[in-house]
Amino acid sequence: MAAIAAAAAAFSTLHLSRTSVILPRCHLRRAITSSLSSAATEFSSKFAPPKPKSKSHKPSPPEDSGPYIPWIVNDEIGDATVQTTPSERFLRAIANESTQRKKKKEDRGSGGKDKPGVPTAEPKHSKAARRFYNERFREPPQRLAKVLAAAGVASRRSSEELIFQGKVTVNGSVCNTPQTRVDPAKDIIYVNGARLAKKLPPKVYLALNKPKGYICSAGEKETKSALSLCDDFLKTWTKRNPGTPKPRLFTVGRLDVNTTGLIIVTNDGEFANQISHPSSNLSKEYIATISGAVSKRQLIAISEGTVVEGVHCTPDLVELLPRQPDIPRARLRIVVHEGRNHEVRELVKNAGLQMHSLKRVRIGAFRLPTDLGLGKHQELNAANLRALGWKT
């Protein structure tokens, strides 16, 4: 608008009109230029200065004197923007300064700078949240004798003897009651002057193919215990589970010294009690190799059962297996569910047959793996435990 006003003033000075005077184009251009130069002192115009690239520079509020002509400048991120008014740039500078002040205030509150490697304090949970966790996820306190057995100190019965002898202290006091409820994570437990680990070993479940000549006993004096076949598993325990005590393993049920086949090894007493208790009604399958021929009358005698430990035991199934070229002797498949001591041997003996060898091949729905050699073991997964009837 200032340029238009200047041009109008030039025309009025020269007293130009369409009808009176007609000048050539070159003379007209000179007259307008000279008039503009003379009239430049009558008004002042300013261009918006380009915004500085430095972030630390704070622009001062522009003067409002004189007309403001918009200009294209580059902002901090390099994009072209049009500043329409001087107050807009001033308000943006004030906003940036306020943001920097807040950031400095937060830095002063945190010590000026973040310290790497220093963990922040965990937020405190409410009582309701802690109660919810304790009721659903935290293991409840257990009996002292059970905790000692789970920690691998001794068997349940031997742990009770240690408690009765006054060799166990809980939180600095001697405890003579095996039924005392304790929490290893909170309570301080000493056995014979040695501190019990706060963290109990995890549950272990192994399937062992027991060979002939090994007994199912956890006694330390037994040189040919079936548990000695799991020594290689325990030797690598510290490497696989650093900071965790070794589990105390025992067998679930027993197989006599001359019986081979499947037996479960674990450190979970609740699991062992559940699958070995008669109320579980878990069937067990055996393959009995017989010396000599087997008649139909003898098969009927086995199926009718016999008295074992004062109780009449009847097998669930008796079947004569077909002969195989590499096995000259007759074989019987016998399925029982009571699992009394020497039950299968007593059934065969009562029928007038002579036992050559006996092998257990199945417990519940879990069958001895065909690729598991004698004296070898393998860990059981969740599906195997469900096949064994374990209900968690």
Residues with catalytic function: 256
CB atoms within 10 A of CB 342: 13
**Which among 31, 33, 39, 3 has a CA at the least distance from the CA of 15?**
31
User: Encoding tokens for residue 381?
Assistant: 């997964």
Q: What are phi and psi of 196, to 5 degrees?
A: -80, 135
- Of 137, 193, 204, which Cα lies nearest the Cα of 169? 193
User: Rg of the chain over CA atoms, in angstroms?
Assistant: 47
By residue count, the chain amounts to 392
Amino acid making up residue 233:
F
Distance CA 259, CA 242 (A): 36
Q: Using an 8 Å Cβ cutoff, are 265 and 230 in contact?
A: yes
Q: End-to-end alpha-carbon separation of the chain, Å?
A: 89
Question: Quick one: which H or E segment has residue 148?
Answer: helix 144-150
* Spatial separation of the C-alpha atoms in residues 262 and 369, rounded to whole Å: 9
Identity of the amino acid at 301: A
DSSP assignment letter at 304 = H
